[in-house]
Every structure is written in structure tokens, then in C-alpha cells.
Structure 1
Amino acid sequence: METLANLEAFMHSAEHGSFSEAARRLSLTPAAVSRNVAMLERNLGVRLFHRSTRKLTLTEAGETFRLAIAGNLEGIQAAIAGVAADDGEPAGTLKVSMAPTFGLMHILPLLPGFLARYPRIRPEWHFENRQVDLIAEGYDAAIGGGFDLSPGTVARTLAPAHIIAVASPAYMNGRVPPCDPEGLKELTGIVMRSPLTGRIRYWTMRDVIGREMPALLQESIIVNDPSAMREAALLGLGVAMVAVPDVLPALETGQLLRLVPRWYSDAGAISIYYASRTLLPTKTRIFVDWLSAAFRERRLAERFAGSLA
């Protein structure tokens, strides 16, 4: 079944004869509208538009398809969105993207309670370290931090994304804990090279009274994944700068120690992202509300705050 975004992109493009005008009406970029139409054509196995640098016109198959759904788009929208079953209960596939470590530790444990409340929703959860295109790729929501807020997408903040310095008790045995971030450079560093930029990420830390200081770890061990940084720290290989949620269980059990307490780096916010269109599927709306309530009940925003630990 086609996604709502693909059909909306097609109908608006057909009506206005332009991807750009359709994008303006849908609060998207022309590239996003073009991708959605191309995905629809690929899925149907036919070309719907004749494209040129100056004009966009329907093919014979495109006109036939337009006539078939014209006047019925609202019904199609409701059906695809899975607004509700006949008895008003939310239903349908809920496609969500999230980072593997964060999702497995903090989101997946919420699933039993969610499904007990909404048994007709079918989760399709993707655990991946990348920014997805919600509209073009047909996701209902994405959970993470640092996403580009593209046109047609909104974000609801769940918790802060704070980065802290950690090491294992075995590694720190016999070593003097540093009193500030500058002292971290004397210890073995576990750092990450970004798969996107090829650069090693360094952080500037701040304390609760607003002082700032660079945390220049040695490039002793280099990995390309945050979960690998955590595992290397657990193995006693050195000091890692990682997000609080990724190491919270290990901190609470004593498997890892926080160094330079009260110092942290602010990486923005952990948010849930979803499409801002008026007809938001009920399954998406109740998931956003459920997740926000779960974060409040479990006080995760406070527990993730590096400024409070």
C-alpha cells in the first residue's frame, strides 16, 4: 500500500503541474516531492509524469491513476493513516527510527506497556545510526538528537543530550581522577571518528556555574560508533566521552565511573520527530503522547541531565 506522502505529492504535482508548487503547498522541499513521486512510480511500475526543464505533464497512465483517486483522496488518506478501526481503536503499522543503543536501552522496554494499551498497532522499529527522511522514506516518527528539522517536520523534546566522561573502576585503579576537563588529556582516550565527516569529535565541557573548558582526550583508541566507545570503556581501555543515556545503566551499577562530575557537554536535545501535516495518523499521535508521558513518569529528562548527576 502506498504511503500518504507519496499520494499527496502526486496529486498536488498533477494539480499544479510543478514539483515546486506542490512542495510549497505541502511545506516540503521540491526534492522531497520529486522523491515521493519517483517512489510511487517505482512501486506502481509505471511513469506518471513527462518531465522537462520547463514543464511537468501527466502521462496516460498518470492521468488514469489521477482520475481513479480524484475525489477519494480523503478516504485514501484516512485508510493509509490507519486513523482508527471501526470501533475507534488506533491501528496500523508504526514505522519508527531510533539509534540502536538508545532504542534498545530506553525505548524498547516501553513497548510491552504500549502494546498492552494499543494491541492493534504493529511496530516496525528500525535501529540505525543515521538521520532518516521521514517523509520520503515513509517513517511515522524518529527518535534521536541533532536531526535537521526539514520542512514539514516537527520535533517534541524528550530529554537533554548531555555528554560526559566515563571510565571503568579497573582503569582508574591506581590513577588520580582529574579535577577538571583539562586533566583528561593525561589519560588514555577512547575517541570516535565520524562516519560522515571523517573527523574526530572533541567536546567543550561546562560546569554548573557556566565555566567552559575543552576536553582534549588523547587519540589512543579510535572507533566509529558510540556503542563501541562504551564497550571499550567497560573493558578498561581508557576514558570515553559518551551520551548519558548510553551509559546510565553502567553508571548505576558501578561498572563505569563518571569523571569530572558536574562537568558535561551539551549536544542539544533528544527529541521525537514526526510529520507536521494536518491529518496526523492517530497511531502516530498517540505514540508521541505515550512516549512523552513515559519520559515524564520515569523522570528520564532528569536522569539524562549531565548537569544534575
Structure 2
Amino acid sequence: MDKSLLEQMEDMAVFTMVVEQGSFSGAGRRLGLVKSAVSKRVDRLERGLGVKLLQRSTRALSMTEAGQALHARTRQSMGLLEEARSELAQLHQAPRGLLRVTASVAFGRLCVAPALPDFLAAYPEVRVQLALLDRMVDLAEEGYDLALRLTRTPPDAVVARALMPIRYVVCAAPAYLAGRTVAQPRDLAALNCLFYGYQAQTDDWAFTRGAERETVKVRGNVIVNSSEVVRDLVLAGVGVGLVARYAVEAELRDGRLVSVLPDWTAAGAFGPSAWAMWLPQPHLPPKIRAFVDFLAARLDVAQAREADAVQHRGLSALGISVDSAG
């Protein structure tokens, strides 16, 4: 915006205050300016507009026709400004307005989207725009309020909060494992191993079990940048897959897939946590805080249920009866 236009807008605000207070000195007291500074501002405005706005005398101050026209406009503008300030204040008092969120495709579909109905019911004045993108996003340039991503370390330029731990699982269809023995991670080298990726045709899969560490170089005939496609290929019996557990939890639960090397912990490509990330700002809008708090609580509950289910399956496999009540 042109500097002269900014000055003119400031001078109009001073002029409006003079009219409302009925004097230069009264306007000065309200604005924290000396009387001469107020007078100079009004003079500058009159010169810039090329009209006389005020008739001055030793005892009275009145508006000219041009002054009355300008004052009507400035009062309208000040009213709109006050409405805008009130709306902005409300945005910082309660969750409301449009919340633009981006998440990776599988995490967004399987972990974020299921939480939206309850969130929207709890915060009816918030509207959510959810963009599922498997790529890096520039929050500032693309205008997103929040990014939900699986990563080892969030960028330094953002504020980040861990939402949930990410556990990875090596899994396969029972039919694919028939006649095959997988007792140690090294046994995977003989299998068709599928994983999330872009270019490499080989990859190193790392495993831990207590103090044990083992890394195996695996090979597969398909590589795809979608954990859901990896899951579908594994379900079709194409090979063994390494995916985030949330992407195959339902299939593991109903037996269509089985966990391979369940005693070992697999390291995934995207790190051990899902994060909520947003740009630093003096006052975090309530809509962002409410969504992050809600999602973190929801995912924490989901993780607890998953852990209970895993424990239940493990005890059942040992022939131990488990009371599911409570």
C-alpha cells in the first residue's frame, strides 16, 4: 500500500475523532497527541483531498458539506473495522471458522477422518478442510493451518506436538507364508518384500528385540508410494509387507493378514511418531488448539484399545482366558 494512502487513512481517523469530540484538544486527549499535532493532521488531510473539511472559529467547530460527506464515510468504515475487530476477538475466544488441515493419505483416511464426526459435533462453529497429500507442504505458501505428518524430526520452523506413536509391522497373507519359514529377520531376504518407497529397488529393514539388533537387505518386485496399496498387494498374496500398523489393523484382527516376526520390532520409513505441526504465532487460534487436543486424545484412546487387543490375542494364543468386561 502506498505510504501517502496510509497517511491519509490515519489522518481520516484523526479527523473523525475531532468531529466526535467536538474539538482539537479533545481529540488530542483521546489519541495521545498534542493539539497542534491534531491540527496539522487535519490540515494535511484537507490539502491531500483538496477540500475544506472544517470551519474553525475561536468558539465553534463545524463541518463543511465536504466534511459531512467524509465523516459519514469514515464512520461507516470505523463501524466495519469495529465489527472486524469483534469477529477476530471471537475467533480467539472460542473454536470457530475454517480450519485447513493437511495429512498424508493413509494416515488421514484411517486415523484423522474417523475422528471428524465427533469433533464437528463438539465444535459446530468449526469447518474443516482436509487435504490428503503424500508430499511436503509449505504451510505459509499453501495457507494450511495445520499439517499432520509421520516424521522422525519435525522441521525447526514449525511448532510441533506428538500425536501418537507409530508402530510398524511386517505382515503377510497366510497363504503366502504356507511352506515358508520366517524365524529370524534374515529369513526375509528370501521373500518378496514390499514397502513404501519411490525409486530404490532394494531396502534395508531394521529390527530390534531387547538388546538384539538386526538389519536385513530385502528385495521386492513392487515398490509404491502408498501404504494402502502395499496392504492390498500383501492381501493378494504378492509378498510380505512392511507398513504402519494402523494401515493393516483390521486385517490383522480378522485374520486376513498375520504378523511376521511378532517378537521383533520393525523400524519404519517415517519414524516413530505422528506429529501435528503449525507455524509459530503469538496467539494460537482456538480452532487449532481444539483440533490438536481432540485428535491427540482420540488417537491415544485408539492406541490403548489396540494395545489391549494385542495383549488379548497374545494371551488367547497361550490358552489363557481373558475377561473382556470393563
User: Which residue of the partner structure matches residue 170 of structure 1?
Assistant: 175
Distance 1:201 1:78 in 2: 58
Distance 2:201 2:82 in 1: 49
Does structure 1 residue 184 correspond to structure 2 residue 188?
yes
Q: Call closer, same or farther: CA 1:171–1:75 in 2, change over 3 Å.
A: farther
Q: Which residue identity is paired with 1:174?
A: G
Distance 1:65 1:147 in 2: 49
User: Which residue of the partner structure matches residue 114 of structure 2?
Assistant: 109
Q: Which residue identity is paired with 1:254?
A: G
Does structure 1 residue 133 correspond to structure 2 residue 133?
no
SS in 1 for 2:229: helix
SS in 2 for 1:129: coil
Q: Which residue identity is paired with 1:265?
A: A
Distance 1:65 1:200 in 2: 61
Distance 2:86 2:240 in 1: 51
Does structure 1 residue 83 correspond to structure 2 residue 91?
yes
CA offset at residue 147 of structure 1?
7.2
SS in 2 for 1:122: strand
User: Which residue of the partner structure matches residue 157 of structure 1?
Assistant: 162
User: Which residue of the partner structure matches residue 27 of structure 1?
Assistant: none
| Preserved CA contact (<8 Å) 1:157 1:269 | yes
CA deviation map 1:26-61 (0-9, x unaligned): xxxxxxxxxxxxxxxxxxxxxxxxxxxxxxxxxxx4
Match of 2:275 among 247, 271, 274: 271
CA offset at residue 289 of structure 1?
1.0
SS in 1 for 2:281: coil
Q: Call closer, same or farther: CA 1:298–1:192 in 2, change over 3 Å.
A: closer
User: Which residue of the partner structure matches residue 219 of structure 1?
Assistant: 220
Distance 1:144 1:68 in 2: 46
Distance 2:229 2:144 in 1: 27
SS in 2 for 1:251: helix
SS in 1 for 2:218: coil
CA offset at residue 167 of structure 1?
0.7
| Preserved CA contact (<8 Å) 1:81 1:282 | no
Q: Which residue identity is paired with 1:278?
A: P
Q: Which residue identity is paired with 1:193?
A: G
Q: Percent identity?
A: 28
Structure 2: gaps (5+ residues)? 14-77, 315-326
CA deviation map 1:261-293 (0-9, x unaligned): 132115231111122212211100111111111
Q: Call closer, same or farther: CA 1:89–1:80 in 2, change over 3 Å.
A: closer
TM-score by length of 2: 0.64
CA offset at residue 77 of structure 1?
8.3
Q: Call closer, same or farther: CA 1:97–1:230 in 2, change over 3 Å.
A: same
Q: Which moved more, 1:291-300 or 1:201-210?
A: 201-210
Distance 1:257 1:68 in 2: 72
TM-score by length of 1: 0.67
Q: Call closer, same or farther: CA 1:186–1:269 in 2, change over 3 Å.
A: same
Does structure 1 residue 296 correspond to structure 2 residue 300?
yes
Distance 2:210 2:220 in 1: 29
Q: Which residue identity is paired with 1:106?
A: C
| Preserved CA contact (<8 Å) 1:191 1:217 | no
Match of 1:282 among 286, 289, 292: 286
Root mean square deviation of aligned Cα: 3.5
Paired residues for 1:41-120 under 5 Å = 61-63=1-3, 79=87, 83=91, 89-120=94-125
| Preserved CA contact (<8 Å) 1:81 1:280 | no
CA offset at residue 173 of structure 1?
2.3
CA offset at residue 169 of structure 1?
1.2
Distance 2:130 2:195 in 1: 29
Q: Which has the larger radius of gyration?
A: 2
Structure number with the higher helix fraction is 2
| Preserved CA contact (<8 Å) 2:158 2:278 | yes
CA offset at residue 69 of structure 1?
9.2
CA offset at residue 107 of structure 1?
1.2
CA offset at residue 125 of structure 1?
0.2
Give the aligned length: 241
User: Which residue of the partner structure matches residue 231 of structure 1?
Assistant: 232
Distance 1:300 1:75 in 2: 46
Q: Call closer, same or farther: CA 1:223–1:297 in 2, change over 3 Å.
A: closer
